[in-house]
Amino acid sequence: MTTTQPARPPLGALPPREHLRLGQTETVLDVVIPVYNEETDLEPCVRRLREHLARTFPYGFRITIADNASTDRTPEVAARLDDALDEVTAVRLEQKGRGRALRTVWTLSEAPVLAYMDVDLSTDLNALLPLVAPLISGHSDLAIGSRLSRSARVVRGPKREFLSRTYNLILRGSLAARFSDAQCGFKAVRGDVAERLLPMVEDTGWFFDTEMLVLAERAGLRIHEVPVDWVDDPDSTVHLVRTATDDLKGVWRVGWALATGRLPLDRLARPFGDDPRDRELNGVPGGLARQLVGFCVVGALSTLLYLGLYSLFRLGVGPQLSNAAALLVSALGNTAANRRLTFGVRGRDRAVRHQAQGLVVFAIGLALTSGALAALDSATGHPSHGTELAVLVAANLAATVLRFLLFRAWVFPDREREGRCGCQETWPAAGTGHAHHVHHPGHTGSTDHPGHTGHDDLTRSAR
C-alpha cells in the first residue's frame, strides 16, 4: 500500500546523546540501497544483505531499495523483492541522483538509525554492526566506513586509489575536513540528526555525502569512523571525470557558504550529556573560559596585524594618523573574528550593528592609544619607532581588557544569543510543498533551504 509522510513535531534543539529506546520502535535500522539500472546485481545483493542482517543484527531492520529512475528492469526486480521479502521495501523516484534518493527515503523513514550502502556490496558486511552500534548507544551522531584508515584492507586499481586520496587531501586543505574518507558508500546517521541536517544539504548527486559530513563536522557533531575491508567493483558505472568536476564545484560552493556564514549550523549543536561535571555551576559565567581563549587568540593575531599596518602607514604619514588607520582596519577584522569564533554568533543578522558597536569600542581604544602616543611625544620630543611600538603594545593591552568586557556585556551579550531561540523559520514540510513554522535555537532570521525535495514523484510500496 502507499504510505504518506507522518506529521512531525516542531523541531527544537538537539537533545544530549543517549542510548536509543529500542522498545519503542519495531524497526531500528533502515538500510537504503540507491540503484540505477542494476537489474542483474540487485536481487542477489539484496538477498545477501537481508540474510546477513537476519543472522547478525539483534534488532528489527528494513532494507529500502531506492530506484533512481532506472530505465531497465530494475523497478520490476525491486517490486518482486518487495513482495517476496517482509523486510524489503521498494521506492521509485522519477529523477536521478543518489543524494536525492537518500534524502527522500531518509526523510520518510521513521527508523531511529538510517544507513546506506552501494548495491555492489563492495564493503565487507561484517562492518555494518560496528558502523551503527555507536549511533544506537548514543556515542556518535554519524558513522562512516573508511577505506583510507591504516587498518582498512582495500583492493582497487591505482587510478581510483589516486583519485580518492587526492580528493580527500583537497577536502582537508580547502574545507579543513578531519574525516578520512568522504566517498565510501557505507554510512549511517541518527534519525534525529538527519531530520535537521538533510534540509541543509543542497547537492542531489555524488557530492551529497561530502556536504553532509562537512556540515555535520562544522556543527560539532561526532562522526565515528570504521575501518572497512573493501573490494573495488570493476563494472562500476560511475563517471569519474564528471563526478570529480561536480565534487570540486560542490567544494567551492560549500566553502563559500561557510566563509560567508550563510549556513545556520547552530541548530545542529548538541548540549553536553548528563555527566554532573558538565552541568552549569552556580556563580561561574557560562562559556567564559572558552571565550577568553578565543578572544586571546583573535587578539594576538589582530595585534600583529595592527603593528604591521602601523609600521607600513608610518612610512608615509605621522604617528597619530598611522595609529588611527591601522587600528580601524584591525578593529573591523577583530570584531568580525570575535563575533564568529569567540562569541559564536553566525549568519548575517545584526552584523552591521555589531560592527557599529565594535567601532564604538574601537573609538575607546583609539583614545587610549592616541593619548599614550601624545604623552610619549610630550615627554621625549622625538621618540624612536621601537619606543612608539612598545608604548602602543602597553596601551593596547589595557584597551584589550576593556574591549573584552564591552564585547561580552554589550556587543555580544548572552541574552542576545539566547533570544535567538525564539525565532521562527519557514521550512517546506517534507512531501507536501507547504510550509510550517519551527523554532531553531541559536539562529536568527529566515533561511531558504535549497535542495529539499518534495515527494510528489515518489510511490512507496510498503506493508
Question: Is 195's pLDDT higher than 80?
Answer: yes
What pLDDT was estimated at residue 453?
A: 41
Question: Is 444's pLDDT higher than 60?
Answer: no
Check if the beta carbon of residue 228 is closer than 8 Å to that of residue 145: yes
Q: How far apart are CA 135 and CA 335, in angstroms?
A: 38
Least confident of 184-188, 306-310, 451-455: 451-455
Q: Active-site residue numbers?
A: 209
Which residues have CB under 8 Å from 274's CB, separation 6+? Answer: 16, 18
What pLDDT was estimated at residue 240?
A: 64
What pLDDT was estimated at residue 236?
A: 57
Quickly count: other Cβ atoms within 10 Å of residue 217's Cβ. Answer: 19
Q: How confident is the model at residue 433 (pLDDT cuts 50, 70, 90)?
A: very low
Q: How far apart are CA 366 and CA 372, in angstroms?
A: 10
Q: What is the mean pLDDT of residues 156-184?
A: 83
Least confident of 171-185, 386-400, 423-437: 423-437
Which residues have CB under 8 Å from 302's CB, separation 6+? Answer: 330, 331, 333, 334, 337
Share of the chain above pLDDT 70, in %: 81
Q: How far apart are CA 422 and CA 346, in angstroms?
A: 16
Question: Is 425's pLDDT higher than 80?
Answer: no
Question: Is 152's pLDDT higher than 90?
Answer: no
Q: How far apart are CA 71 and CA 55, in angstroms?
A: 34
Quickly count: other Cβ atoms within 10 Å of residue 334's Cβ. Answer: 27
Q: What is the mean pLDDT of residues 276-298?
A: 64
Check if the beta carbon of residue 106 is closer than 8 Å to that of residue 194: yes
Check if the beta carbon of residue 37 is closer than 8 Å to that of residue 74: yes
Which residues have CB under 8 Å from 413's CB, separation 6+? Answer: none
What pLDDT was estimated at residue 281?
A: 45
Question: Is 400's pLDDT higher than 60?
Answer: yes
Which residues have CB under 8 Å from 290's CB, separation 6+? Answer: none
Question: Is 427's pLDDT higher than 90?
Answer: no
- Quick: pLDDT tens for 196-249: 999 999 999 889 999 999 999 988 899 999 999 988 766 555 566 777 788 888
Which residues have CB under 8 Å from 265's CB, separation 6+? Answer: 215, 218, 219, 346
Check if the beta carbon of residue 162 is closer than 8 Å to that of residue 196: no
Check if the beta carbon of residue 311 is closer than 8 Å to that of residue 384: no
Nearest 5°: the CA angle 196, 201, 205 is 135
Q: How confident is the model at residue 94 (pLDDT cuts 50, 70, 90)?
A: very high
- Quick: pLDDT tens for 265-276: 877 877 655 544
Handedness of CA 451, 452, 456, 459 (dihedral sign): positive
Question: Is 435's pLDDT higher than 70?
Answer: no
What pLDDT was estimated at residue 417?
A: 43
The three-state secondary structure class of 385 is: helix
Helix ranges (DSSP H) in 182-341:
191-197, 208-218, 240-260, 288-313, 319-337
What pLDDT was estimated at residue 438?
A: 33
The three-state secondary structure class of 33 is: strand
Q: What is the mean pLDDT of residues 401-414?
A: 83
Question: Is 371's pLDDT higher than 50?
Answer: yes
What pLDDT was estimated at residue 234?
A: 62
Quickly count: other Cβ atoms within 10 Å of residue 196's Cβ. Answer: 18
Length of the chain: 463
In DSSP notation, 54-80 reads HHH--S-EEEEEEEES-SSSHHHHHHH
Share of the chain above pLDDT 90, in %: 31
Least confident of 1-15, 96-110, 421-435: 421-435
Q: How confident is the model at residue 362 (pLDDT cuts 50, 70, 90)?
A: confident
Q: Give the bridge partners for 227, in sequence order.
A: 146
Helix ranges (DSSP H) in 338-431:
351-380, 385-406, 414-419
Q: How far apart are CA 332 and CA 66, in angstroms?
A: 50
Q: How far apart are CA 240 and CA 246, in angstroms?
A: 10
- For residue 76, what is its C-alpha cell? 520490476
What pLDDT was estimated at residue 302?
A: 85
